[in-house]
Structure formats: C-alpha cells, structure tokens
Chains A and B, each alone.
Chain A
Amino acid sequence: MATSRSEPATAPSLRKDESGTPPFRRVLVANRGEIAVRLIRACHELGMEAVAVYSDADAGAAHVRLADVAVRLGPAAPSESYLRIEAIVGAALDTGAEAIHPGYGFLAERAAFARAVEDAGLAFVGPPSESIDALGDKLHARRTAHAVGVDAVPGTLEPAPIDRADQVAGIVADAERIGFPLLVKAAAGGGGRGMRRVTTAAELPAALVSGSREAASAFGDGSVYLEREISPARHIEVQLLGDVEGRVVALGERDCSLQRRHQKLIEEAPAPGLTAEARARLHELAVRVASASGLRNAATAEFLRAPDGAFYFLEVNTRLQVEHGVTELVAGFDIVREQFLLAAGRPLSAAAIAAAGRAASPTGHAIEVRLSAEDPARDFAPAPGRVLRWTMPSGPGVRVDTALEAGDRVPAEYDNLIAKVMIHAGDRDAAIDRLRRALDETEIAGIQTTLPFHRFVARDPSFRAGDLSTGWVGEHWDGPGEYRRAVEVAQLAAGLAAMDAAVAAGGAMVASVAATGTATATPTDGRWHRSGLEAAHDRWPR
C-alpha cells in the first residue's frame, strides 16, 4: 500500500479496483481559513482523516477544531509557519499522513514544495512539481501556449532586465512596440502583486523597479515582464482536470471580470453571453495548453476576452482556485474529491468525464461573491479586526464556505477573504435575485467587509445585463457616496435608539441618554449608570 502511494504516477492500474476505498488513510491540509475547512470536509466525506497545521494566530481556528490531528508550525508570520516547507512535510511524516493538499495561496504553486512532498514519498494533491515549475512561471507558460498555436496576450516572452541600467532603452523599445497602456507583471505573480499599470514610457523604469520589489517580497522572485493592457476585457478561466494517463478535460468556464486592483471580487459560471461554439472553442484552447504542459490533477487556464470576442491566453494556475465552487455547483461535481482520487493515481472518474461532456452546454447558473475584510469606501483597504457578529445566509441555493465564527479575529497577517457566498439557481436572473436576497440576510459587525459592494452589484442593472469588464468596478462603484447614505441611516437609527432608551429608562435623566443602551442595557448597570449621573451633574462643557 505505502509503496504504491509513494509512486502514484507509475502505478495507476493498482488503484482501479479500489474505487470503493478511500484514496488515502490520512491527509495533511497545508493551509488555513475557509479553504482548509473545505478540504477537511472533503477528506471526511471520503472517509479519510485530516491533519491540520496552524500558526500561533490560528491556534483556536475553525480548521484546527475540525481536523482529526493538528500540528503547530510556528509564529503568526507566514514565513515562520504556513510557508515552512520542511516543517509541513515533517508534520505529515510524523502524523502518518500519506498525502498533502496545499489549498490555494501559501505553498500551493511552489514547485519546491511539491518536490519536497514527492521526495518524502508522499502524494502531492495537485499538479506534479515539473508542471508547477513550467506553468507557474508565467513567461514559460506564455512560450508554451505560443508553441501550440494558442494566442497569448501580446507582450514580452523573456524577463525584463531591470537591474541593468544600460538596457533600459531596450525595455522602452519593447514597450513602444507593445503599445501603451501596458502592464508590468511578475513572472511568479498572482493576485495582482508585483503588477503595475504604465501609461507612458517615462513611468516605465519606476514601475519596473517597484513591481519587481513587490514581487520579490511576495514570491521571492523579482522577474517582471510586459504585457499589453486589453481594455475593456473580460477575464474568463477554464477549470481543468487531468489524470496520470495524460487525459485532460475541461469542466467549464468561469467569468471573473469583476476585479479590483486585479483581485477578483465576484465570479460566475457559466460566463454570460458566450455561444456554445465560443464556449467549446475556449475549452479546447485551454485543454490544448494544459496537455502540452503535461498537466495532471486540477488547474485553471485563464484567458482575456477582448471586445471583438477573441480569447487571449493569460496564464495557468496550477492549483485549486478560490472560486472552484461555482464550477462545482453548475457541473454538479466535487472537484476537491476528484483531486484526492487523481492524486492517488486513479483515472478520471466517470462523473468527471460526464461533467466535461456537459460543459459546453451548461444548465443552471452559479455566482460567488468574496466577502473580504476590506473597506469598499476607502479603495478596498484591508480592515482586519474582531468579528462581533456573523450571521451567514442560508436557504435554497445558497452555499457559504467560511471558517469564520462570531468572536474570531481576522488576522492582519493573512489573506483578508473571510467567506465565499455561492448562489446556485436555474438561470442567471434567478441567481442574481437569490444573491440579493442572501446578501440582505447576511449580518457582519465588528469589521468592515465588502458586503455593501456586493449588495450594490446584486442590484445593478448593468451587472444584470451581463455588461462586465475588468474595469467595471472603477466605472460603477462610488464607495464614499454609498457609505455616506449608510451613515445617514445609521445616525438616525442610533439617535432614535438613544432617545427611546432614555424614555424607557424614565425619561427624566436627560444626560444619561447617550450612556444607556437599547432595551438590553439595564438602567442600574453600574459603570454606565454612574457615568450618566456624573454627566447630569457636570453640565458645563469642558
């Protein structure tokens, strides 16, 4: 058993007759937050035990409570905990785990991690280290696509030599050829980190240096390259699955056009407004790039769709995506479950092949919104803190993936995603109605989240019309204006609550109005009562 698991790539036939048994006995989940919870749930569904890892900031976190075994990694900083390859592989070996699932973020797309897992004789639940190496480098992926005749976004195919003062002229010449505005992007990048928009040649050198610096800090690799900015563009990606026998299928596409600073805010499946032919062609392009790079397990090929309908290949993400859930809802298929089966060397399941067969003509529609601890009135600035209240939506067609409970802290050290609200309905209109209803039921207090933005989108006519692009947020969203309207409501509500409380407390004690709570606060509450009395006596302003 153990030997066949240590070399899943070479022993697929051993596993075919084991379809009723769990692919592994025990799996280590090398992540935190909602995705760790999602992965542990899949483990339990497959009858596998889950090992959690955690930093000091997460000692009491949901994924730790849910797991069967938990191992401490170190202090809160990611570099001292969730990014420690040897500690995580060591934890897997110590606890007898047979496979490691990296989730997304942290080590998910580090080839060195996949290689360390493979070298330790464990199964890596994701593409093999060579694929991560080849596709994780965006420049390499661009060259691969070019080689199999898939158009990539116009730009450079080699890293820009930013530390060579004598070559600045060459970069500027490249930039002039590509055309402005263009983007400086990190070869190892993702999530917009290391990315800079450049509108004139004069801004280019500074953008290269700052983009490279941010990329080096985020990924340990400061390589950057140039790419034309396609605008308005739609960001559409294709979910791929591959098995050890080299078969690659597309499960469907997702539209992730609603972004802010190149961070996705809302995703939906299928992409609105695509014909069945365009959809089939897109899936074929994605499968072609993935097959050429020897992809296995799960990955996503990202494309931009220009206003004329042309698809340009952007990159392949060799991991489970944050937004995999919308594809699961539309395809009626569990991607994470399939990942574990594929990692154990089993061929693509009949369910996966059936789902791929339906992918070009999907029925139903799914939308995901990412609730993040960010302030949409202040340019989506991070807003970590303690959650005082958290009531998640439920009811027909609503799935919430979260690790959050009231009283939890959203730590500043990690990604600020706190919950994914996913909606499934018969068609897009019904899904948007359901989304609006679900978001109206959602209650979060203590921290500012992107909830107001999502409520706005769910009511916006242009979103309903499917008029999406990556510039949508900047064109439609007026954060300060929306906030100002909410402040007026809040002021009135707080004022009425204070007046009503004063009346309930006897009405006479005017000065204690503010210090008394709603009906829940008792008038004899020691500290507040005293402070109200003092305020009543101390009438002169200070």
Chain B
Amino acid sequence: MPDPRGVRVTLAPGSATLDVPPLVLEPAQIPVAPAARVTARGLLGGTAPIRPAAPPDPDGHRHVLLNGEPAEAELILLDGVRAILARGGPAGTRDRVLILPPAPALGAARGVARREVVAGGWRVELEVEPAARAALRERARRGREEVGHSGPTEVHAIIPGVVISVSVAAGDAVTAGQQLLVVEAMKMQNELRAPRDGTIGRVAVGSGTTIEVGDLLLVIS
C-alpha cells in the first residue's frame, strides 16, 4: 500500500487521446539518509509505513517518491496560481506552471478533485485523489475485470460543432480508420474515423445534429 499521505494524479478522462500512466507521489519518510534504501525496504516489506514526513531540506530541495522511485522535486508557489516546479535539486530543471483552483470531478467519486494545470502552454486536466484510496479501488476493479471484457466502444465528440454527414448506419461493418462522419466546427470540416474494427451498434446523431464535447456519437461493438 502506498503511504497514506500519498496522492495519485491521473489524466482526466476525456481530456486526451493519450495513454499516460498515473503518477503516484508520496512523501519521503524519516529517516531520510539515504532516502532511497529506506523507502525501498518499506515498500517491499508490504507494510504501510506511517511515519512523519521528512522536514524540508535546509538547502531548499525536497525528497519525494515518484511511483516508488526517490526523486527531488519541489513546488515553489509564486502566488495563488503561478508556481515553479523545481526538479533534480538546485542544479536541476525548473518549469513554470499555472495551477488553477480545483473543481469537482465530473461523475467521479467523492474525494477526487479535478485540477487544470498549464505547463509550457499545454492545458492539462488532471484528477487528484489519495493514493491509498486509488489503490484500493484499482484492486476492486481488477477483481471485477477478471470476468473478461471486450465490450462495445462508445465514440464521443471531442470537439463541438454540427454533424454534416454520417457515412455509416447501424449494422455496418467498419475497419479502423474508416470515415464515420463529418463534423463542421469553426468552418472547418473534420472527418471522424473509426478507432477500431467492428460493427456499428448504434448511431446517436444525424446530419445537422449540433454536438457538444462528450456527446455520444455512435457505438462500435
């Protein structure tokens, strides 16, 4: 089990097409000298070490665990939103970020907060929750998935706009990359293509339908 003070940060669902692994961030524990060996033993031992977090280093950098690996990382708040992420100690890298006030995570369990962080001009929507809680939930979910899973894929809108044409109907067999429909947004026509092979189970929109981000467009089974 992760440290009870740890947090898990994941990319918010629907915010990107990328598969980015979650980050589990835990405080380094006392004693910290050297941090690496002590924490490794604690993790491998399988016990949750409930120890006080290490006090900040006098020279200003901080030891943490990133997915179990020791690292130096510190967030220097400049005001309510601006911050500098310092990694790798005094000689390491520094990135300017904007951390916006938290918002409730849509449809997610209580205790999960949605945060928008801007790094290098990229808007990243994240979900932050206690790592221990996330680990328990993961375990429960894996148990359910043992049963086996190859369900239908729902295709949702990633941009708002108007559906110009739909090239498939329920029952059609499609191959990955095949054009499914055309959406006009900001005067540009965007072709939506099938994410995988399958059969169209349902088409939820028609030509002329106005769609918002997240709307169900069709189902591939």
Contacts and interface: CB of A to CB of B under 8 A. Distances in A.
Interface of A: 193, 214, 217-218, 261, 377-378, 381-384, 388-389, 412-416, 439-440, 442-449, 451-452, 454-455, 480, 482-500, 502-503, 507, 510-521, 528, 531-532, 534-535, 538-542
B163 interface: no
17 contacts: A382-B161, A384-B185, A416-B186, A452-B122, A455-B121, A490-B118, A492-B66, A493-B83, A493-B95, A493-B99, A494-B115, A496-B75, A510-B5, A528-B102, A534-B111, A535-B109, A540-B136
A439 B121 CA distance: 9
A499 B190 contact: no
A443 B130 contact: no
A470 B169 CA distance: 38
B128 interface: yes
B128 A495 contact: yes
Nearest to A381: B159
Given A497-B83, A515-B113, A535 B133 contact: yes
B100 A510 contact: no
Contacts of B124: 486-487, 490-491
Contacts of B128: 494-495, 498, 513-514
Contacts of B5: 499, 502, 507, 510, 513
Contact of B118 (A384, A445, A498, A541): A445
Nearest to B140: A541
B111 A484 contact: no
Interface stretch (B14-22, B37-45, B197-205): B14-22
Contacts, number: 232
Q: Which of B74, B75, B87, B186 has the most A CB atoms < 10 Å from its CB? A: B186
Contact of B102 (A382, A485, A507, A517): A517
B168 interface: no
Interface footprint category on B: 35 or more
Interface string B44-79: 000000000100000000001010000001110100
Interface in B127-183: 128-130, 132-133, 136-137, 139-140, 158-161, 164
B119 A493 contact: yes
A512 B10 CA distance: 17
Contacts of A261: 188
Contact of B64 (A440, A482, A496, A528): A496
A84 B4 CA distance: 62
Nearest to B120: A486
Contact of B73 (A496, A511, A539, A541): A496
B98 interface: yes
A505 to B, nearest CB: 12
